[in-house]
Amino acid sequence: MEILLIKIRRYFNTLELTKGFLIALFSSAFIYLNHWGFSYPIINTILGIITLYWLLREGQKVWFISGTFIGLFWFWWIAMSLKHYGYLWAIPIEMLVISFIYGTLFLTFAWSAEKLSSKLAFPAVFMKAFLLFIVSYIHPFGFDWFKPELMFIESYLGIEKWQFALLLLASALTIWRKQLAYLLIILFAYQPPLTVQGSLSDEIKIVTTHTTVQDKWNETLHPKQFDNLFKEIDQAIREEKKLVILPESVFPLFLNRSEELIGKLNYKAKEISIVTGALYWDGRTPINSTYIFTDNKITVANKVILVTFGESNPLPDFLSNWVNRVFYDGAVDYIASDHVTDYKIDEHTYRNAICFEATSEQLYAGEPKNMIVLSNNGWFIPSIEPTLQKLLLQYYSKKYGTTIYHAVNMSESYVVKNGRVYP
C-alpha cells in the first residue's frame, strides 16, 4: 500500500487530488441531498455552477481525478448486483473499473482540448467547455445515465442543452476574461419551477412491492407473492380505480405459458384494467415484458433497450458466452423488441417502458404524453440507484412534458409530472 501511495504522489500532488475530489463531490451532491431529503434549488444551483466553473479552470490531472471520483460517486451502485450472484469479491473491482472508465474519458477530453487549443490558437477553456458539452452524448457500453446538466434538475436553471451551453459559456468567458460580470449570462438560463397544469388522475392505483431478488425467484414463495398481488388488485377494485399498475417481473415466470394466472388476471380485468410485469417466452429466448389486460384483450409490450451486462452482453460471442457461463450461471441473453409500444387504456395512450429504458432518450421519441414504467430495483438495494433513476425520470418528464407513472419493487413508487414528483 505504501508503495502504491508513493507512485500516486509521483504523478499527483495533494492539491490536485483535493481539487478533483471536491469537484466530483460538488457534481454529485444533488443526488445525495435528494436521497437524504435535503434537496433545495438554491443549493443545487450554486453547487452546479461551482462545479462547471472550477472544472473548466483545471488541467488534465484534475480532470482525470474528477472523472474518476464522478464515476465512483454516481455509479458505485452498479457493482451491488454482483452480490446476488455470490461475487462479493468482485464488487470493489467493478467499482474501480467504472471509476477508471470515467477518469479516462475526462482525461481524454482535457488532453484533446489542450492539444486542439495549441494547434488552433484558441483558448483552451472554450475547447474544454465544448467537449464537456458533448460528454452527455457519450455512453460507455450504451449506459447513458451520466448527463452533466442533470445537476440542475432541481435548481433555478433549466436542463435543456442550450441552457447548459449558456452555463458553460458564462463560466468559460469569466475564466478567460477574469471578469465575474460574464457570469450574468447565467440569468438567461433561469427557469422557474414548473407548475402542474390540472390534477393527477385519482383513477390509477400504483402498487409498490417489497420482494427481494432471492425471494422473487424462489418458486416455493410464489403462491404467497401472487396472492398478495391479487389482494392489491382487489383493493383497487374496491377503491373504484380504473387502472392498477404492478412493478416489473412481479410474476417471475413465463406468464404466457401459465393458463391459470392468465385466466385469473383476465377475470379481474373485467372490473379493472391491469398492467403488470412478467416474462414472455417466444419459443427461443426469454423476453422481459409488460402485460396489459383491458377491454377483454391481452397486449404484450416487450422491452426495447436491454441492460448492458444484465440482460444483454455487448461483447463478442465467445467472450459473451464465457461471461454468461461464469458470472450468470449460464443464463442466455434476453431479446429486445425492435420498436416501442404505445397502448390505450380508457382512451388514454401510454408509452410502455421497463426500468432502465425509461431513462433513455430513445423512449421519448414523439414526446409521449403519458408513460407507464415498471421497475425492479431490488438488484441495487440499498444504494442511491432509485434516487438517480427518479432524477433522470424528472429530467425526461420536464424535457418532453411526459407524465410518468412508475411502479417499483423494493423502492418507492410515484408519479412524475412536469419534472415534479408526486408519491
Sorted by where each begins, the domain ranges of the chain are 2-189, 204-304+339-422
pLDDT computed for residue 44 by the predictor? 96
Can 128 be counted among the known catalytic residues?
A: no
pLDDT recorded at residue 115:
92
Are 194 and 398 in contact, with CB atoms under 8 Å apart?
yes
Residues 241-245 have a mean pLDDT of 97
Q: How far apart are CA 389 and CA 397, in angstroms?
A: 12
Strand, helix or coil for residue 70: helix
Q: Name the pLDDT band for 95 (thresholds 50, 70, 90).
A: very high
**Residue 182 confidence (pLDDT):** 95
pLDDT at 325 over 80: no
Average pLDDT of every residue of the chain? 90
Under the banding of pLDDT at 50, 70 and 90, the label for residue 330 is very low
Q: State pLDDT tens for residues 131-159.
A: 999 988 888 767 889 999 999 999 999 99
**Confidence check: pLDDT of 71 > 80:** yes
d(CA 367, CA 197): 17
Nearest Cα to 66, choosing from 12, 9, 120, 119?
12
> Which pLDDT band holds residue 334 (cuts at 50, 70, 90)?
low
Query: Is the whole model's pTM more than 0.75, yes or no?
Result: yes
**Mean pLDDT, range 4-9, rounded to an integer:** 58
- The pLDDT value given to residue 423: 87
Catalytic residue among 94, 205, 268, 355: 355
Largest CA distance in the chain: 72
% of the chain beyond a pLDDT of 70: 89
Percent of the residues in the chain that have a pLDDT greater than 90, as a whole number? 77
Task: With H, G, I as helix, E, B as strand and everything else as coil, classify residue 207.
Answer: coil
Segment (H or E) for 98: helix 91-120
Output the pLDDT for position 197. 58
CATH topology of domain 204-304+339-422: Nitrilase/N-carbamoyl-D-aminoacid amidohydrolase (3.60.110)
Catalytic residue among 303, 390, 398, 417: 303
Which of 58, 248, 311, 357 is catalytic? The answer is 248
Cβ(390)–Cβ(358) below 8 Å: no
Most confident of 114-128, 199-213, 256-270: 256-270
Predicted pLDDT at 137: 87
Q: What is the pLDDT of residues 13-46, one digit of tens each?
A: 889 999 999 999 999 999 999 999 998 999 999 9
A 10 A CB-CB count for 146 gives 19
Q: Work out whether the CA dihedral 147, 148, 154, 159 comes out positive or negative.
A: negative
Q: How many CB atoms lie within 10 A of CB 130?
A: 17
CA atoms of 311 and 308, how far apart (whole Å): 6
Residue 285: per-residue pLDDT: 84
Q: Which pLDDT belongs to residue 10?
A: 64
With 60 as the cut, is the pLDDT of residue 7 above it?
no
Show Cβ contacts of residue 397 under 8 Å, excluding neighbours closer than 6 positions: 403, 404, 416, 417, 418, 419
Residue type, position 90, single letter: A
How many CB atoms lie under 10 A from the CB of residue 142? 14
DSSP summary character for residue 393: H
Q: What is the pLDDT of residue 2?
A: 57
Residue 263 has pLDDT above 70, yes or no: yes
Q: What is the pLDDT of residue 284?
A: 80
Q: Confirm whether 248 is a catalytic residue.
A: yes
Q: Look at residue 264 in the predicted model and tell me its pLDDT.
A: 97
**Distance (Å, whole) CA 382 – CA 398:** 27
